[in-house]
Amino acid sequence: MEYAGLGGLIVLALNIWAIVSIIGSGVPTGSKVLWTLLVLVLPIIGFIIWVLAGPRSTARTV
């Protein structure tokens, strides 16, 4: 089985989720751009930093 391909798909899905959440957050546009660039330029490290300190989406699910 191709584990590297599966890992890449997981990272891609998590980064897409992070970017959608960043865009949906209530932070100013400049902050959204910086967070998005961080996640895009450093996919794994940027995602971890976003999980720990990033903006959250304003939409809540029940």
In a domain, 59, yes or no: no
Residue 27 CA, distance from chain mean position: 14
Rounded Cα gap, residues 12 and 2, in angstroms: 16
Structure tokens belonging to residue 59: 């939409």
Considering its fold, how many domains does the chain have in total?
A: 1
In a domain, 38, yes or no: yes
In a domain, 60, yes or no: no
Q: pLDDT per residue over 10-60, tens digit each?
A: 999 999 999 999 999 889 999 999 999 999 999 999 999 999 988 776 655
Structure tokens belonging to residue 51: 């999980």
Closest CA relative to residue 18, chosen from 6, 4, 52, 8? 52
pTM comes to: 0.80
Rounded Cα gap, residues 37 and 54, in angstroms: 12
In a domain, 47, yes or no: yes
With cut-offs at 50, 70 and 90, classify the pLDDT of residue 62.
very low
Domain with 39 in it: 3-53
